[in-house]
Structure 1
Amino acid sequence: MKLFLTRPVRSDVLVVATYWLVALLVIFPSYVVEFGWLRAVVAMLYNIVLDTAAVYFIVFGFLPLVMETRTRLVALLLIPTFLLLSGVLYKVGYGLILHLPITWTPAQFISSIIRHGQSYGVLGIMLVGKGYFDMQRRLLLAHKAQTESELKNLKAQIDPHFLFNNLNILYALIQQDKQVASHYLSCFSALYRYLIRHKDDDFVPLADELKFVDEYIYLLNHRFGQAYTFHKVMLTEANLDSRFVVPATLQILVENAIKHNRGDEDNPLAIVISVSDETVSVSNKIRPKLTPVESTGTGLLNLKERYKILSNKEMQIYRDGFFEVLVPVIKEWN
């Protein structure tokens, strides 16, 4: 992204106008005292035109050329011409307006260039500084727009993922027991309403998320019986309403554990949900299903990206006999 635009915008004009308004209050009275009203007015107008033109050339002409590799050499070659013209216009213009002697010794000419540089230097620094902050603002806006687009795409993947998995479970239950399937559908509708209610939310209170996963576990118990057991370990006494997580975090992690690991009633798989002041984790012993499950890893990757975008914190995954996913708890969020 370019630091300097190729032409001034309205805010640049306002900066220049503000600068000269202040400069008039400081410089003009001394001109009037030394040279009289008429020459002071003409000199001040010449000063405004000359210095503004020099600064506009530097900021909107010279510096953009320097920033581009292909035009950098041309820009550097323009420096002597600019300095020469700047010194001549400064010395001749003020000499004629203020009735000052015009002499051309090397030392006097160099002095003229330096004095003109000092004259427009403050204005130049102001416009360059403004250009830098404008660039930072454009970068932030572009980053914000990109982030919002990424989040929108990630959120769009959650609802279908949850829906299709549970519809498959519901289909299986219908084949086994329609009454159980009806109750399952009622509970599933309540859970889905939770997702719809929070579909535009970046975070939800951890207390709400724990209630949500309890209801989800209730559905899983109807589907799998005692093949999977669930244990909740509270390692913190913090107010969970003031702690936040991404919606459906625990549901995704529990679902992932069941999807990839086998459990049976004689040897149930224990899934542990641990809540601490800094993290929430879901862990289980690695027990791959006899028939490999086809998976793209979308659920965990989606969750990981959302935490990274929203909180700039990484979700941690550990595999060492046990599979454990730790997600960061957000303590402050508005």
Structure 2
Amino acid sequence: MDTKLNKSDFMLFVIYYGVSVLMTIYEYSKTGHNLIEYLLDIPAFIILDVGMVLIFMYWLLPDYIINQKKYLHFTFWAVSLMIIAGFLEDAVGHFSGDNDWSQFKYDIQQMINYISGTAQSIGLPFGLLLAKKYYENQILFGSIKEKQKENELKLLRSQISPHFLFNNLNTLDALIDSNTEKAKEYINRLSLIYRYLIQTKDAEVMELTAEMNFAENYMFLLKTRFGDDYEFEISKNSSLENKFVPTGAIQTLLENIAKHNRAQHGKAIKASIHIDGDWLTVSNTKSNMKPTQESLGTGLKNLEYRYRLLSDRKPIISDTLDGFTVKIPIIKLSNES
């Protein structure tokens, strides 16, 4: 659940506390409060209430409930902060009312009152925000799930498309007469690719080791088909253990390179896959091919949609005159010991 506030959330704050201020002014006017009480009490309760809600939304909920499931830590900090907020609001009211400080209470009962009073004060705006965020996240989740199924269908179609098979059979036909041994290797790699595609067609994420094996087989097909048009390099600066990426992510990035670039004037397209820490980077030099209307980055957009469902991080795309780079986050499904 995304707890970060957006523009409409702050508009909700403005409306809610605008009404609250008007009601407080009306109550104060009936009981004959002094001007200083208007100037101190009202801003104090707004600042403390809004501050408490922001602390819950940006720190306590995401850190202790959503990410770590540390409910005791959450309770401790929530209660402590409510006591502090209640104490500050009480102290401001005591000062603005010009009361005798010797009568100021700070015993156990008063702390309980602080907790109760703060909970009542922030309960409604906090509840409204949570309900709103839950509704928005459900809509977003439904939209992403629908897009995910659409993307899976597109990916599956591209993987088993007659065009893909036709190109590979043409390459294989040429190899059988010219290089029998390489033709056997080509058949073996092609069969490994199709076996992998069939085995992983329902998986949302796949082990990085398996995806890299697939990538090596896929690059072999491209190199065999296009000869010296492409130069591929793989570097791994970290372990692949307990690391995952969306199924077919690397295929999407390699397809993107082959789809939009061709060697020109004998200058090969240089492509690399680099794994370092929590990121997998695929970069390539560029040719002057003009993209067709139906291939304007749809594969990358689909990959971004999948990451919105699987991770709180998203791919980073860099497009310059000399090269194109895509960094995708590596997903960890369990904590490493």
Question: Normalized against structure 2, the TM-score is what?
Answer: 0.54
Give the corresponding residue for 1:171: 166
For 1:65 and 1:277, locate their aligned partners in 2 and report how far apart those are by CA, in whole Å: 43
1: CA distance, partners of 2:226 / 2:14: 69
Structure 1 residue 128, shift from structure 2 partner: 2.7
Q: Does 1:152 align with 2:157?
A: no
* Matching residue of 1:233: 235
Runs of 4+ in 1 over 6 A off after TM superposition: 68-72, 178-185
Q: Which residue of 57, 67, 73 maps to 2:16?
A: 67
Partner of 2:122: 129
207-216 vs 141-150, which moves further? 141-150
> Cα distance, 1:256 vs. partner?
0.5
Q: Report whether the alignment pairs 1:293 with 2:330.
A: no
Q: How does 1:38-77 map to 2 (within 5 A)?
A: 67=16, 76-77=25-26
The 8 Å contact of residues 195 and 247 in structure 1, kept in 2 or not, is answered as yes
1:129-179 deviation digits (Å, cap 9, x = unpaired): 333443353245335424422431342243333334341221344567679
Q: CA deviation at 1:121?
A: 8.1
Offset from partner CA, 1:23-68 (integer Å, 9 cap, x none):
xxxxxxxxxxxxxxxxxxxxxxxxxxxxxxxxxxxxxxxxx99728
Q: CA deviation at 1:255?
A: 0.6
CA distance in 1, matches of 2:209, 2:171: 34
- With over 3 angstroms needed to count, the CA separation of the structure-2 counterparts of 1:248 and 1:141, relative to structure 1, is same
The structure 1 residue matched to 2:197, chosen from 169, 192, 195, is: 192
Distance in 2 (CA, whole Å) between partners of 1:136 and 1:333 is 30
SS in 2 for 1:240: coil
**Structure 2 regions of 5+ residues with no counterpart?**
1-12, 34-98, 100-109, 177-182
The C-alpha deviation readout for 1:228-278, integer Å capped at 9, x for no partner, is: 3322122x1x33122232322211111101100013896543321111124
Conserved? CA contact 1:198–1:247, under 8 Å: yes
2:230/2:268 contact within 8 Å kept: yes
In the superposition, relative to structure 1, how do residues 135 and 241 fare at CA in structure 2: closer, same or farther (>3 Å)?
A: farther
Structure 1: how far apart are the matches of 2:150 and 2:305? 12
| Cα distance in 1 between the residues matched to 2:146 and 2:22 | 45
- CA distance in structure 2 between the aligned counterparts of 1:125 and 1:276, rounded to whole angstroms: 47
Q: CA deviation at 1:297?
A: 1.2
In 2: Cα distance, 1:176 partner to 1:240 partner: 32
Would you say the 8 A contact 2:189–2:217 is kept in 1? no
Q: Which amino acid aligns with 1:126?
A: A
The answer for the alignment partner of 1:205 in structure 2 is 207
**Contact map agreement 1:227 1:265 (CA 8 A) in 2:** no
- Cα distance per residue 1:171-215 (max 9 Å; x no partner): 34456767989878744532322442313x4xx332222122223
Q: Quick check: 1:270–1:284 contact (8 Å CA) kept in 2?
A: yes
Equivalent residue for 1:16? none
Distance 1:293 1:270, change over 3 A: same
Q: Is the 8 A contact 2:313 2:329 kept in 1?
A: no
**Structure possessing the higher radius of gyration over alpha carbons:** 1
Does 1:254 pair with 2:203? Answer: no
- 1:48-127 aligned at under 5 Å gives the runs 67=16, 76-77=25-26, 80=29, 123-127=116-120
Give the superposed CA RMSD: 4.4
Task: From the superposition, tell whether residues 220 and 190 of structure 1 become closer, same or farther in structure 2 (CA, over 3 Å).
Answer: farther
Q: 1:82 to 1:299 in 2, by over 3 A?
A: farther
Distance 2:189 2:157 in 1: 15
Aligned residues: 236
